[in-house]
Amino acid sequence: MNFLELIILAAGESERFPLPYSKLLLPLKDKLIIEWVLEKYTKFTFSSIKVVIPQNSLMLESFLGRWQQVVNIIKNPFPKLGMINSLRLALKEATSKVGFLIALGDMPLVEEETIKLLLLTFYNNIDKIIHPVYKGKQGHPVIIPAKYKQTLIELENYVWGAKKLLEMYPREIVKVDVSDSGVVLDIDNFKDYANIINKLDSFNLNT
C-alpha cells in the first residue's frame, strides 16, 4: 500500500514571542510544543516525514536532531514569505504518488482520533481534499492528494496555498466534522499559549 507523506510546517517566525528561540520549544507540561506534535503524528504510518524550519533556528534544529532517524529537516531561508513558501519547499522534495498530510507545528492539541479519522476518510476518498471542521470553522491538518502538488508549488502569490486550493476546488473537498477543538487552536502569541496550557487537561491526548 502506498502512503501519504507528512509535512509539518514549523518555520513560522515567533515575532509575537520575545524569545531567543522558536516558540515550538516552549514547554507544555513535561514536553515541548513540537514534541507533542511529533509524538502524535509519528504514531501513524507515512512514507516520509518532513519538518520545515527556519534556516537560522539552531536550537530547533538541534532538538530535531534527536528525531533524525524519523524526520527529514528542510530549512527555509525565507520564512517571512509565509507558510506557502515552506509548503512549496517541502513539496519540491516530496515523492509520494498518493498525497500529503499538512500539519502545523504550533497545533499540539489535535487528538490522535482526529488524525486517524482524517486518514481513514482520505483512504476512502483517495482523490479528495480532506480537512476537519470544528463548529463550522475550517481546521488543520489538511490532506491534499498528490495530483494537486504542482498547483500548490505554483501558487506564488498566496500566503497559505492550501487555503487557496480549497477555494479553487470546492467540489473536491470532503469536510470532516469533529468534536476536537484542537484542530482550530494554534499558538500565535502568549495569550494563545496560556489558553493551550489551561485546556491541556481537558483534551483526550492519548500520549
Q: Give pLDDT tens digits for 69-97.
A: 999 999 999 888 888 889 999 999 999 99
What gap in Å lies between CA 134 and CA 129, rounded to an integer? 17
Q: Which of 72, 99, 59 is nearest to 8 (CA)?
A: 72
The residues near 150 (Cβ < 8 Å, ≥ 6 apart) are: none
For the chain, domain boundaries: 5-201
For domain 5-201, which CATH number applies: 3.30.1330.60, 3.90.550.10, 3.30.1300.10, 3.40.50.2300? 3.90.550.10
Highest mean pLDDT among 20-34, 35-49, 145-159: 35-49
pLDDT tens for 92-148 read 999 999 999 999 999 999 999 999 999 999 999 999 999 999 999 999 999 999 999
Which residues are registered as beta bridge partners of 130? 143, 174
Q: Quick: pLDDT tens for 162-205.
A: 677 788 888 999 999 999 999 999 998 889 999 999 888 765 44
Consecutive H or E run containing 149: helix 149-153
- Answer left, alpha or beta for residue 82, where phi above 0 means left and psi between -120 and 50 means alpha: left
Q: Which residue has cell 490522535?
A: 112
Q: Is the pLDDT of residue 42 over 90?
A: yes
